[in-house]
Amino acid sequence: MCPQDSIRSGGLEMTRAETKVQRSLARYGADRWGKEFLSVNDSGHLLFSMGDMPAVDLQALVLRIQKAGLSTPLVLRFTDVIADRMKRLRDAFFAACEATNYRGGFTGIYPIKVNSRSPILEAIVEVRARLGFGLEAGSKPELLLISAQQPVDGLPLLCNGFKDREFMRMAFHAAEIGHEVVIVLESLRELNRFLEVEEERQWHSRPSLGMRAKLYSKGAGKWETSGGELSKFGLTTVEMLEVIRRLERVGSVDRLTLLHFHIGSQITKIRPIKMAVREGAQLWGHLRSRVPTLRYLDLGGGIGIDYDGSHSSSSCSSNYSVEEYANQVVFEISEVCNEHGFIHPQILTESGRALVAHHAVTITDLRQVQGQVLPVPEVSKEEHRIISELRSTLASVAENNYEEYFHDAVDFRDEALQLFSRGYLSLDDRAAAEALFHRIRLRCQEIDDQVPSGSAELTGYLRQARVKYLANFSIFQSIPDFWSINQIFPAAPLRGHDGEPNYPVQIVDITCDSDGRVDAFAHPDGNLTELPLHRAAHEESPSEGYLAFFLTGAYQDALGNLHNMFGRCHEIILRRHRESDPKDGDDALFPDDDFHVSARPGMSNSQVLAQMGYDEDTMRASIVARSTEQATSLGAEWALTALAGYPYLQR
């Protein structure tokens, strides 16, 4: 899509343009959080590429998608990136096993809850036999979905989560279909349910059993309460021994094949991982000496993503790589096993975030600006004293006095508003006072940005009063974790990286909710509260000012909600061409040399309403009847088109 030779790489002699590009990327931290997948072309546009995939000019791509009829906001899914990430995890474990002479082997598992959208599962299913990945479910629909996939010998299908009898039956059914199913017990009650369901009929194939252990070791980061003795998950040691006793009693202890633990998602430090693996390996070895059929040690998920590029233990980063994770895990397990003479277990990991976070880029367009500087209105011939005071403050505000003058300006502005309330100031005077105060604030902001010598309070106030750009999306739908758990995502505009984007703006979304704003962008040197853009950007046609949020591929799709009735966005799926791609009747959105580009349209207005429990047909019929009855100017046909429209802002 974009010739590789136009990609900038750090040459020996850096041209001025290259320095500009690097400075621009550094402003957003993209030189660090995006170093594996972002670069910039000669036009100053961002290029996305991972592994050996051809680089994509994101700005050009979005314009093509727009031309093909789908507008922003949208999610770009580079699904080959998922296979690339799966391969990286597998290769890291294979290399670690080889280096330590580890004999147990490794199998990856994809936990479907991390992103259950169909293009993601399709991408995983396409390569899982080749790359050796099993699947994991934590609910009944998830289990139905993964058991409907083609079984692959030697690749387990794990059942986690809390299970009732119906869930157990589904697991037995999946085993009969041909999957190697392991039901991971969360409680003793689940064991009883399992045994009852087993007795229900003559199943011709049965799942095996695993136990989720409640480790004492905890993770580190936002999800550390998933582990530790107070966690809501898993069996204590006494309970695990009771499971074994009960199974021995019914002659079924040989059904136990797996020991599992999971100490949380986005684990920021490697040390707690090592400690948990050590504890888990000891448990595994001791249990294995009682239950010879145990063969899997399932470490759960948790590999952290370096969202802010700091490669540190900050909550939006991780201080280790996938390779270091694999090395440490294999080393710890083999050390425990070798020391105590345990056989090496087959290692399973349920890392999801590490496989899918990178593949998705969420694109929105920046719209109208709040806080535009409008001309100061003409006032009465005899200018009011308060207006003259504001005018002279504006004329004399400077670096050495801006804090004091800003305080004066606030007093004058407040006095002007009080005078207006008491009837001593005209509407034009009030408007002039507001406009002059706005200019003084902008001037003080400029000075404070360059030489912040004012108080922290003033800097904070000026920051809040920044120019606001409206991003055409809903954070509740597209980056819900930002709102709910302060998960910070990296972002950057799609173009302008050959210039000096040094105009900090606030980004607010289009929901009618004051929480609907993005006031933190991941950055390695401390998150940004505003996004630096080009000052001229607000004069552009809005559809050209695109902003991308990166690393949005894990969890956001399922957690996104319909607050304000903004529905799921358009999805554009890009993958390299396959031999099997249809020649005629191609489902491609547009032809492209490098990628097969297809689209799954987002929710229409009527689909969103239907999701909220309104019957689409009744709604349609009632709108048509009322428009016809009232002979509305736009007519019934128009109303139907409006129902089929996209809830987000259109051009």
The CA–CA distances, whole Å, from 250 to 168, 192, 200, 206, 247 equal 18, 11, 15, 16, 5
* Min separation Cβ 265 and ligand PLP, Å: 3
d(CA 47, CA 195): 55
In this structure, the chain runs to a length of 651
**Residues in contact with ligand PLP, shown as a per-residue x/- string from 155 to 194 under the rule CB under 6 A:** -----x----------------------------------
Query: Considering only residues 336-355, where is the footprint of ligand PLP by CB under 6 A?
Result: 350-354
Regarding 227 and contact with ligand PLP (CB under 6 A), the answer is no
Contact present, 472 and 543 (Cβ < 8 Å): no
Near ligand PLP by CB under 6 A: residue from 303, 470, 603, 609: 303
Regarding 474 and contact with ligand PLP (CB under 6 A), the answer is no
* Min separation Cβ 311 and ligand PLP, Å: 18
Regarding 210 and contact with ligand PLP (CB under 6 A), the answer is no
Number of residue whose CB is nearest ligand PLP: 301
Regarding 301 and contact with ligand PLP (CB under 6 A), the answer is yes
Regarding 302 and contact with ligand PLP (CB under 6 A), the answer is yes
* DSSP string for residues in 226-253: GSSTT-SSSB-HHHHHHHHHHHHHTT-G
* Min separation Cβ 270 and ligand PLP, Å: 14
| CB nearer ligand PLP, residue 253 or residue 273 | 273
**Residues in contact with ligand PLP, shown as a per-residue x/- string from 123 to 162 under the rule CB under 6 A:** -------------------------------------x--
d(CA 127, CA 145): 17
Q: Which amino acid is at 434?
A: E
Return the range that interacts with ligand PLP (CB under 6 A); candidates 262-270, 331-339, 400-408, 446-454: 262-270
* Min separation Cβ 252 and ligand PLP, Å: 24
Near ligand PLP by CB under 6 A: residue from 90, 214, 262, 568: 262
Near ligand PLP by CB under 6 A: residue from 111, 210, 480, 516: 111
Three-class SS state of 209: strand
d(CA 354, CA 318): 11
Query: Considering only residues 498-557, where is the footprint of ligand PLP by CB under 6 A?
Result: 554
Angle formed at CA 336 by CA 305 and CA 183, multiple of 5 degrees: 65
Contact present, 325 and 303 (Cβ < 8 Å): yes
Q: Which amino acid is at 240?
A: M
Return the range that interacts with ligand PLP (CB under 6 A); candidates 189-197, 301-309, 393-401, 640-648: 301-309
* Min separation Cβ 114 and ligand PLP, Å: 5
Report strand pairing: 531-533 vs 546-549: unpaired
Three-class SS state of 393: helix
| CB nearer ligand PLP, residue 481 or residue 509 | 481
Q: Which two tokens stand for residue 399?
A: 């670096």
d(CA 211, CA 198): 17
Residues 6+ apart with CB under 8 A from 483: 475, 476, 515, 516
Q: Which residues bind ligand PLP (CB under 6 A)?
A: 111, 114, 160, 262, 265-266, 300-303, 350-354, 554
